Amino acid sequence: MKQVGFEREWLKFLRKYIAPVTEKLYPGYYTKAEAVMNFMVRYRPDEQPSLRPHHDSSTFTINIALNTKGVDYE
């Protein structure tokens, strides 16, 4: 997020929305909603056809589609 100048807003989003949901879903679990590594990436089948589903070791992984239905996919 630093690369696109959005880190401060992203941390606000984590603290305002994600942390409270986490505390409700997992009673007793507290998070300061810190971000050690956060980034944006674009996945397109024609550019990365061999990319397979994968796992990471994050506490949270949040995917937000930045596509337009009917334009970027069917």
pLDDT of residue 43: 73
How many domains does the structure of the chain reveal? 1
pLDDT of residue 16: 92
Q: Which residue has the higher pLDDT, 25 or 32?
A: 25
Cβ(35)–Cβ(7) under 8 Å? yes
Residues 6+ apart with CB under 8 A from 34: 11
Determine the 3-state secondary structure of 69 from DSSP.
strand
Give the mean model confidence (pLDDT) for residues 27-34: 78
> pLDDT digit string (tens) for 32-59?
777 777 777 777 777 777 777 777 777 7
b/e 23-42 (16+ beta carbons within 10 angstroms → b) = eeeeeeeeeebeeeebeeee
pLDDT of residue 71: 83
Boundaries of domain holding 63:
1-74
pTM of the predicted structure, to 2 decimals: 0.57
CA angle, 31 as apex, 62 and 14 as ends, to 5°? 40
